[in-house]
Amino acid sequence: MTLTHTFHIPVMGTGHSIDTPIRVAPYGIDSVISIVDDLLVERIRKYYAEMYELPFQSIPRNADDGRARRITAYLNTVEEIVCRKFEALRNEPFFTENEKAKYFEMLPDSSTLRNGWEQLKAMAPSVDREALENKLSSMMKPGAIDVNIMTKLDRLLNDNDGRPMSNEFSDANAAFRGFAMSNLSSSVVLSAGFNPRLFGYMAEFRDFYRDAAGELRKKIILKVSDFRSALIQGKFLAKKGLEISEFRIESGLNCGGHAFASEGQLLPVILKEFHEKKDQLAETFQPLIDSFYDSMGWEYPDSARKEEPLVTVQGGIGTHGENERMLNEYGMDRTGWGTPFLLVPEATPVDGPTLELLRNAGEDDLYLSGVSPLGIPFNNVRNSGSEKWTRSRSETGKPGSACPKGFLQFNTEFTENPICTASSQYQLLKIDEINRSELDETSKGNRRSEVLEKTCLCDHLGNGALIALGILKEHRGPQAVCPGPNLAWFNRTYTLREMIDHIYGRIPSLVPAQRPHMFAKEMAMYVDYIRQQIDQTDASDAKAMKRIRTLYTNLVESMDCCAEIAKGKVFGDENMASLTDAVKTERKRLEALFVSEPAMA
């Protein structure tokens, strides 16, 4: 597979990459839209339909199969706009400072297309030059319009009469169907773990299987935390004849949004295993895929056997040198850059106040929070509009949200039907239970704080995009945002070209030399994480204690790996001194945790 760029822009919450393909795909850059919030995409579709004078007919909230239809309609709208913008760009002339020149100028230096463009610029007018112009224009292609489904968000719903609906109308299945029925020829990114119901449902759509020419109209990207999970999930899908086109590795903690911690293995250990065992992926899956095709009476095209799944990585990459290590040391096919693009208005729709907050955010402002109703650590920034709104509600005695969308309704602690832990209904019930408990006042206060911290991510993560596009007034929409810790070292807004030139090392680094290496930051975050686990764990819980010891053992091994990396080859502007210092400092911190806690020894 020939990639136009050696990086992609991952999904960023429900709203902050909602229209990113419209902004960057005409330049050949791949990006990912979240399709969790079908109500948000409907509002964005109306906005862009009016802007580009496209037909628009509203799909009401209670419409039959409305969730899938809204998603399909939006994705088709995005594709139509991207195609229009790309064709207009491609038809522009060469030898002019225009959008077409920008397309070529942003390509990586190693690109065949860019090399051809450099050759073209050196040619005098001639028939040969005209032929090369036509060839280069024909080789241009837009970036992918990929979509993300967070597999854990999979409510089973009731119909308009209150009767349970079948599995095909669950949140994840309906979102997947919305993508599957769209005109897109792109990929679905499956994140947040294994969902047998969704994975089984995917087999019903022929576009995810090879055609006679060996092509896949729609592809599957699997976001994974380690090699074992890649094998387990890949085998489950392969038994249904479904291929993984890309395994997208993400740092467990040093990322944006929800953080799914590994068992203490740091990214370099995970990447090394993928690099060493990459061939096992295709070797393991292909026989299972062949068997499925045989059972269906289909012929698996020989031309497709040459293809192997891509392996990519994202989470915390912040310098050209770190990017080069991912590509050259670990053999990654490309990298993902998310958080830095929150400061690139050409790429992401971020409202003014949030943009200012992000621009000024320091290391202490970016933290792993407990705000998510899913109970999963969530990378956050202090003093967001969402945090202020949530705090104000609790201070006035009206905690929680009215739960206008309900995508995170999973708790049945007090009710027969699931409700969200960020809802007013849940928080009032839970606080009353805490107040009536026999806990001491300090413990009660801590428990109440944990309850009141939960915030309405369903709604708030989309508000920033609506405000940025002028669809929603700022005072009507508290804004949540989910940057990774990497943001602390990017301190202004940037042009799209600036950020891409930074990634490719064509300009002086946009971050200061003292920025800690991505591996050093991840290491510190895992020590903090283990400390938190120790604080929250009852020493009598044998299973939990065993997991903490596993975290410790794996983290120590990962630190040894990082110590070796620090002694080896330096790629470009990597801050290797920070990695050496981090190994010493974080090892002492980790050991102190276990010395001070007898139960951990």
With cut-offs at 50, 70 and 90, classify the pLDDT of residue 594. confident
The reported pTM is: 0.96
Residue 189 has pLDDT above 80, yes or no: yes
Q: In this predicted structure, what is the pLDDT of residue 174?
A: 97
Q: In this predicted structure, what is the pLDDT of residue 342?
A: 98
pLDDT tens digits, one per residue of 370-428: 999 999 999 999 999 999 999 999 999 999 999 999 999 999 999 999 999 999 999 99
Could you tell me which of 214, 481, 241, 223 has the C-alpha nearest to residue 353? 481
Residue 249 tokens read as: 């590795």
pLDDT tens digits, one per residue of 523-578: 999 999 999 999 988 888 899 999 999 999 999 999 999 999 999 999 999 999 99
pLDDT tens digits, one per residue of 80-92: 999 999 999 999 9
Strand 219-224, strand 187-191: pairing: parallel
Dihedral in degrees, nearest 10, Cα atoms 505, 506, 507, 508:
40
Chain length of the chain: 601
Residue 596 has pLDDT above 90, yes or no: no
Answer for the pair 187, 220: CB distance below 8 angstroms, yes or no. Answer: yes
With cut-offs at 50, 70 and 90, classify the pLDDT of residue 2. confident
Residue 72 has pLDDT above 80, yes or no: yes
How far is residue 351's CA from residue 386's CA, in Å, rounded to a whole number? 13
Residue 24 has pLDDT above 60, yes or no: yes
Half-sphere exposure of 36 (CA within 13 A, CB side): 30
How far is residue 345's CA from residue 354's CA, in Å, rounded to a whole number? 12
CB contact set of 142 (below 8 Å; sequence gap of 6+)? 25, 26, 28, 82, 83, 86
Q: In this predicted structure, what is the pLDDT of residue 595?
A: 78
Q: In this predicted structure, what is the pLDDT of residue 164?
A: 83
Residue 238 has pLDDT above 70, yes or no: yes
- The H or E element that residue 228 is part of is helix 227-238
Answer for the pair 37, 405: CB distance below 8 angstroms, yes or no. Answer: yes
Answer for the pair 133, 127: CB distance below 8 angstroms, yes or no. Answer: no
Question: Between the CA of residue 485 and those of 71, 340, 382, what are the distances in Å?
Answer: 31, 10, 12
Answer for the pair 556, 587: CB distance below 8 angstroms, yes or no. Answer: yes
Q: In this predicted structure, what is the pLDDT of residue 58?
A: 98
How far is residue 385's CA from residue 89's CA, in Å, rounded to a whole number? 38
Domain boundaries, the chain: 1-145, 516-601
pLDDT tens digits, one per residue of 452-463: 999 999 999 999
484 or 152, higher pLDDT: 484
Residue 567 tokens read as: 């002694």
Residue 322 has pLDDT above 60, yes or no: yes
Answer for the pair 257, 379: CB distance below 8 angstroms, yes or no. Answer: yes
CB atoms under 10 Å from CB of 227, counted, come to 23
Q: In this predicted structure, what is the pLDDT of residue 50?
A: 98
How far is residue 340's CA from residue 359's CA, in Å, rounded to a whole number? 10
Answer for the pair 185, 82: CB distance below 8 angstroms, yes or no. Answer: no
Question: Between the CA of residue 5 and those of 1, 9, 201, 341, what are the distances in Å?
Answer: 12, 11, 32, 15
Could you tell me which of 147, 242, 154, 148 has the C-alpha nearest to residue 198? 154
Q: In this predicted structure, what is the pLDDT of residue 229?
A: 93
Q: In this predicted structure, what is the pLDDT of residue 601?
A: 53
DSSP string of 514-530, one letter each residue: TSPPHHHHHHHHHHHHH
Dihedral in degrees, nearest 10, Cα atoms 554, 313, 457, 161:
-100
Across 468-485, average pLDDT: 96
Residue 137 tokens read as: 């224009």
Residue 54 tokens read as: 């496209």
DSSP string of 65-121, one letter each residue: THHHHHHHHHHHHHHHHHHHHHHHHHTSPSSSSSHHHHHHHTS-TT-HHHHHHHHHH
Answer for the pair 223, 151: CB distance below 8 angstroms, yes or no. Answer: no
Residue 597 has pLDDT above 80, yes or no: no
Lowest mean pLDDT among 173-182, 346-355, 529-538: 529-538
Strands (E), 108-194: 145-150, 187-191
pLDDT tens digits, one per residue of 25-68: 999 999 999 999 999 999 999 999 999 999 999 999 999 999 99
DSSP, collapsed to helix, strand or coil, labels residue 463 as helix
Q: In this predicted structure, what is the pLDDT of residue 538?
A: 86
Lowest mean pLDDT among 146-160, 283-297, 512-526, 562-576: 146-160
DSSP state of 275: H
Could you tell me which of 527, 523, 519, 525 has the C-alpha nearest to residue 575? 519
How far is residue 494's CA from residue 355's CA, in Å, rounded to a whole number? 11
Q: In this predicted structure, what is the pLDDT of residue 43?
A: 98
Residue 93 tokens read as: 């002339």
Half-sphere exposure of 301 (CA within 13 A, CB side): 12
Q: In this predicted structure, what is the pLDDT of residue 152?
A: 87
- Three-state SS letters, 290-302: HHHHHHHCCCCCH
pLDDT tens digits, one per residue of 95-124: 999 999 999 999 999 999 999 999 999 999
Give percent above pLDDT 90 in the chain.
93
Bridge partners of 258? 378
With cut-offs at 50, 70 and 90, classify the pLDDT of residue 150. very high
Q: Could you tell me if residue 274 is left (phi over 0), alpha (psi between -120 and 50 degrees) or otherwise beta?
A: alpha
Mean pLDDT (the chain, rounded): 95
